[in-house]
Structure 1
Amino acid sequence: MTVLHLADEGEAADLAAFLSRLLHYDRSAAVRLQAAGTALAVFGRPPSFEVLAIRTARLAKPYENGLDVTLDVTVSAGELLEAVDESAATAVVPGAVTGPPWAGVLPPRGGWRPEPGLPGPDALRAMVGAAVAEFRARTEELGPEGRTRAELDRIGRDIWSRAVGDTHLPVRAVHAAQSLGFLRAAGELALFSSGVWLRLRTPYGSIAVRRAGLGGLDVSVSR
């Protein structure tokens, strides 16, 4: 049994909240865990946003029962959530699962450089609110026969694929950040790029997205 000792109850609560939000969008969600020393990274992919969400957590100490150096495993998000003990600030790592395709293609660990042009937090939240309102208005204008899945998807792609400000970041990445609790009132935001990847970093987590979408596998596979 592998036990993660999180730095405090707050870290445990934030991890549980992140997992709960992922499960809201996909009840069978998987997450990939990577850790070394006292740093833990949790990767997830909420399906409706086509982005990777990354939540980091501080560990109080390395692992028990044999994993002294690193941890790299894909597990059920639901099972991990059930294994989080917030009062004890611990989590028992559940058994590994066969990872979805995205779990083998993660953003690079290094080589990130700052990207200019990212609007401030208030402007980003307003942008998401306007996009949600536009989507609702345009779909409500459709008649019963026109409200097909294909048409809803087309409207969604038109709105959520738009660029944020003067960047290449799609609006859907900001929407994902807000929906997952990353876009809170406090804290500075920053945008970085590395190869084909963009990463929106907040104090509460990061959203990574490929410039041309996340469907292809023409990047290095992380093992």
Structure 2
Amino acid sequence: MTAPVQSLHFADAREAEDLSAFLARLLHYDRAAAVRLQAGGGALAVFGRPPSFEVLAIRTARLSHPVELDVTVAAGELLESLGGPEIAVPPAVTGPAWAGVLPPRGGWREMPGLPDAAEMRGAVATAVAEFRRRDEALPAERRTRAERDRIGREIWSRGIGPTGLPLRAVHAAQSLGFLRPGVPTALLSAGSWLRLRTPFGSVAVRTSGLGGLSVTPVRPV
């Protein structure tokens, strides 16, 4: 029986710094956030789900040597352990439901029609302005959490361009630091999953509800 992985060694210090920034953003939205870690070969994938966006966020990092790892841990404990090129793997926690349903390992194909980063960032800014305008226009008796949530769902469920990618996925990519000015982007599809990929991370979303979900341990994407 293979001994569990106790520590991870990054290829360089920048990998740890970038992962720290990602974890800090996740914790901003959920102080009790959990992340699923998967390592295969010389790469680590960290999966998280910021609740405000209802998407799956993925950050990868290069490791100095190959390891095999699949564990769900507390994001805060993982962040605390990041202080250099080597980190201790925190104790496993009982993972939330989303951690058992990850995007497939392979079968991704690039989809056409994705606007460039500047246009997508502009679409997010327009949507934020619309939400604020509609929120401010609500009469006092309708200014409730439920009504604001309804407006938000309507706005952020809209597709970006002709792609079918919901605007909330683009908003998440920008808020998590993935979608930056001038960066190359790609839209990938595999089954019922869509994935917005940038050099700084990916955001994945299911497009067909919860039907037919498979729970499989997949390798980093």
TM-score over 0.5 for the pair:
yes
Q: What is residue 81 of structure 1 aligned with on the other side?
A: 79
1:79-133 CA-partner distances (Å, limit 9, x unpaired): 0000001xx3122110000000000000101011111110001000000000011
Residue 16, structure 1, aligned to residue 24, structure 2: no
User: What is the TM-score with the length of structure 1 in the denominator?
Assistant: 0.93
After superposition, residues 41-120 of structure 1 pair within 5 angstroms as 41-62=45-66, 69-85=67-83, 88-120=84-116
C-alpha separation between the residues in 2 aligned to 1:192 and 1:37?
A: 23
C-alpha separation between the residues in 2 aligned to 1:53 and 1:99?
A: 16
- Structure 2 unaligned segments of length 5 or more: list them: none
C-alpha separation between the residues in 1 aligned to 2:171 and 2:64?
A: 32
Residue 219, structure 1, aligned to residue 213, structure 2: yes
Question: CA shift at 1:205, angstroms?
Answer: 0.3
Question: CA shift at 1:60, angstroms?
Answer: 1.1
After superposition, residues 134-149 of structure 1 pair within 5 angstroms as 134-149=130-145
Q: What is residue 65 of structure 1 aligned with on the other side?
A: none
Residue 156, structure 1, aligned to residue 152, structure 2: yes
Residue 210, structure 1, aligned to residue 212, structure 2: no
- What is the SS of the residue equivalent to 1:73? strand
C-alpha separation between the residues in 2 aligned to 1:2 and 1:167?
A: 42
C-alpha separation between the residues in 2 aligned to 1:192 and 1:123?
A: 18
Question: CA shift at 1:143, angstroms?
Answer: 2.0
C-alpha root-mean-square deviation of aligned residues, in Å? 1.1
Q: Do the aligned partners of 1:46 and 1:52 also contact (CA within 8 Å) in 2? A: yes
After superposition, residues 168-187 of structure 1 pair within 5 angstroms as 168-187=164-183
C-alpha separation between the residues in 2 aligned to 1:74 and 1:170?
A: 27
C-alpha separation between the residues in 2 aligned to 1:144 and 1:8?
A: 54
Question: CA shift at 1:200, angstroms?
Answer: 0.4
C-alpha separation between the residues in 2 aligned to 1:125 and 1:54?
A: 19
1:54-77 CA-partner distances (Å, limit 9, x unpaired): 000001124xxxxxx410000000
- What is the SS of the residue equivalent to 2:140? coil
Match of 1:200 among 180, 196, 203: 196
C-alpha separation between the residues in 2 aligned to 1:16 and 1:89?
A: 12
- What is the SS of the residue equivalent to 1:145? helix
Question: CA shift at 1:186, angstroms?
Answer: 3.7
- What is the SS of the residue equivalent to 1:60? coil
| Corresponding residue pairs, total | 213
Q: Do the aligned partners of 1:105 and 1:217 also contact (CA within 8 Å) in 2? A: no
Using the aligned pairs only, state the percent identity. Answer: 68
1:117-163 CA-partner distances (Å, limit 9, x unpaired): 10001000000000011001100111222111111111001100000
Instruction: Give 1:126's aligned amino acid.
Output: G
